[in-house]
């Protein structure tokens, strides 16, 4: 049986360039681009490891063979309620090949088996059809819509809230 999940590893400092590039390449599909320069990104990355035993935020890199294909991020991890928010980015050269669906599946497995979480949530802009399909293929269901939540290129865009009980 073929394993469709990807190997995950914790992000390293040398991943920062690819992480920022992936965000910049798909800025129109994200809620915000909060890290705009290398110094801000380094500060953000260094803040991730403040609580190593129970981190509130994790950035994992999805790997297929020896290739890094993108990132899976968990934020607002709540160990009492066993919930977290997720997001992912696929590096440009790997988009459109099913890696996003596989990366989310791997992240779900990690969240359940390693972190013992029970629910994952995410918000996706209405115009980000690929990300919405990836989540839906992995069992996420629409839980609500935040009408006209984000302003991009002169338009107000809805943000769709998804959830998954794992």
Q: Locate the domains of the chain by residue range.
A: 7-117
Give yes or no for a contact between 73 and 86, defined as CB atoms under 8 angstroms apart: yes
pTM: 0.84
Q: Is 26 helix (H, G, I), strand (E, B) or coil?
A: coil
Give the largest Cα separation in the chain, rounded.
48
Fold classification of 7-117 is Aminopeptidase (3.40.630)
Predicted confidence (pLDDT) per residue in 46-61, tens digit: 776 666 667 888 999 9
Confidence of residue 69 (pLDDT cuts 50, 70, 90): very high
pLDDT of 113-150, one tens digit each? Answer: 999 999 999 999 999 999 999 999 999 999 999 999 98
What pLDDT shows up at residue 26? 57
Flag whether pLDDT at 157 surpasses 90: yes
Q: How much is the pLDDT for 1?
A: 29
């Amino acid at each position: 049986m073929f394993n469709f999940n990807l190997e995950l590893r914790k992000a390293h400092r040398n991943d920062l360039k690819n992480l920022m590039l992936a965000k910049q390449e798909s800025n129109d599909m994200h809620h915000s681009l909060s890290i705009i320069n290398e110094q801000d990104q380094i500060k953000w990355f260094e803040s991730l490891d403040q609580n190593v035993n129970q981190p509130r935020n994790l950035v994992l890199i999805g790997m297929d063979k020896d290739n890094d294909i993108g990132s899976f991020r968990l934020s607002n991890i709540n160990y009492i309620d066993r919930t977290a928010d997720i997001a992912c980015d696929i590096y440009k050269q790997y988009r459109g090949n099913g890696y996003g669906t596989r990366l989310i599946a791997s992240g779900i497995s990690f969240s359940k088996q390693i972190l013992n979480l029970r629910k994952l949530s995410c918000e996706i802009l209405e115009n980000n059809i690929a990300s919405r399909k990836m989540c839906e293929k992995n069992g996420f269901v629409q839980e609500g819509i935040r009408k006209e939540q984000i302003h991009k290129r002169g338009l107000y865009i809805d943000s769709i809230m998804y959830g998954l009980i794992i």
